[in-house]
Amino acid sequence: MVYLRSLFIISLILWPMSAGADIYKYVDGDGVVHFSNVRHNGNYSLFMREGPSARPAAKTPGYDGSGWMGDYVNRYCKAHDMPPALVHAIIKAESDGRRTAVSSKGAKGVMQLMPFTSRQMNVNDPFDPIENVEGGIKYLKGLLETFDGNVTHAVAAYNAGPAAVKKYGGIPPYKETRLYVQRVLGLYRKYSSIE
């Protein structure tokens, strides 16, 4: 009961804050609950995620491959011999650059990584855009290697999974995947012409 009351009081205190930081929680061996804005060690777990510092404008242009995230994608792709235009296309199609995006199937973050993919790529926080981008690029690079550089098959596998692409010998006959591949390849061409 004391814990619930503490939780309620903390929620009330933090609710009106327009800017803040992630809050981490740790319950020690004596049952004392500790809160911190810094994850001191593995005993602390995420309790509350930072909210936006300001309301977004009613109409935002969305992700266009520019800004700090676009610059980071370009640098990371260059270091890993990946086409930045393809990664920009996937980010645009998957989340429109929203770091807190969550799909109905549980994919999270900028490049919409599924939980098992996050684990495979050592992404601890899929909502951290840098971790997500790095994990997504590594995953995409692995798909390109799996499908011998065939971009269409790698993009289809990014959406439907590599097993489905192998099973059907190409783009699976799923409407969602076919539309996804069409959209990503169109964006890839668009971003390639800009580079």
Specify which residues 46 forms β-bridges with: 24
Specify which residues 48 forms β-bridges with: 23
176 vs 159: CA distance, rounded Å: 9
152 vs 134: CA distance, rounded Å: 21
Active site residue 94: yes
DSSP-derived secondary structure for 31-55:
S-EEEESS--STT-EEEEPPPPSSP
In contact, 76 and 133? CB cutoff 8 Å: yes
In contact, 102 and 114? CB cutoff 8 Å: no
Taking CB atoms within 8 Å and a gap of at least 24, the contacts of 158-161 are: 158/90, 158/184
**Tokens 């049952």 label which residue?**
31
The three-state secondary structure class of 23 is strand
Tell me, what amino acid is at 40?
H
Look up residue 105 and give its DSSP letter.
T
The one catalytic residue in 94, 134, 145, 176 is 94
Q: Which residues belong to the active site?
A: 94
